[in-house]
Amino acid sequence: MQPLRPVGQPTRIALGIAFFAAFLAAWSVVTYGGLVPPLFLASPGKTLEAGWALFTQFGFAGDIAITIFRVVGGFVVAAVIAVPLGLAMGAFKPIEALLEPFVSFARYLPASAFIPLLILWAGVDEAQKLAVIFIGSVFQIIIMVAVVAGATRRDLVEAASTLGARSRGIVLRVIIPSAAPQVAETLRLVLGWAWTYVIVAELIGAQSGIGHMIMDSQRLLDTGQMIFGIVTIGAIGLVTDFLVKALNRRLFPWAVI
C-alpha cells in the first residue's frame, strides 16, 4: 500500500465485502457463543426473524416510506435555500461578512435541542420532523458550499474578468462550474447527517417511522427489532450514497469524486 494510491474497483468491492463479513462473524461469535446475553444483543438470526415479523405483521414498509419522505423533504428544502446562499457567500465577500458570523453560530446549535420548541410551534405532525431536518442541514450546507465556492481558482476569475465578464458572468461561468462537483459532494455528506436528525425527531412525539419503531421496540426489550431498524437505516443510507456518487460521476466526469 502507498499513500493516495488508488485501488481497482474489483479490489474495492472485495475489501468492502470482506469487512462486512468480518463484522458479521464477530457479531455471530459474541451472540451465538453466549458472550453477550440475548436481552442486550440479539443474534443475526434473531434479528432477521424480527425483521421478517416487522414487514409481515407490523407494516414496517410504511415506516420506511414515511422516514424516507421526511429525510428527502427536509433535506431538499434545506438544499434549495442553502446552496444559493453558500454560493453567494463564497463569491462575494460583503455577503460573507454579513452572514458568516450568524451561520457559524447557528451550525453549532444541535437540531435535537429545537424539538421541544418545534413541538410547541408546529405540534407533532410532519412539519415538526421536516423542520428538525431542515435546521440540522441548512447551516451546514451553507458554510460548506461557501468554503467550496470561495476556493475557486483566482486565475480563472481574473482571466474571465480580463475577457470582459461581469460579476454575474463570473459567477455563472466560472465559480458555479468550478464548485459544482464539490457542492454535490457536500450535499451527499450532509444527506447522511440528515438521517441522524430524522431518527432523533421520530423518537419523540412520532406515531410512525423507523425511529418510532425503534422506540417501541425498546419498551418491549426487543433488541432484534431495534438492531434491524438500525441496520435498515444503514442499508438505505449505503444504497443512497452509492446512487448519489454514481450520479455525481455522471454529471461531473472531470472531477474526482
Domain spanning 66-206: CATH superfamily:
MetI-like (1.10.3720.10)
Q: What is the pLDDT of residue 46?
A: 92
pLDDT digits (tens, 9 = 90+) for 104-158: 999 898 888 888 888 888 877 888 889 999 999 999 999 999 999 988 887 777 7
Q: What is the pLDDT of residue 2?
A: 67
Per cent of the chain over pLDDT 90 is 44
The model's pTM: 0.86
Note whether 184 and 251 are within 8 A (CB): yes
Burial profile 139-158: b = 16 or more Cβ within 10 angstroms, e = fewer: bbbbbbbbebbbebeeeebe
C-alpha distances in Å from residue 88, one per residue of 59, 112, 175, 200: 45, 28, 10, 31
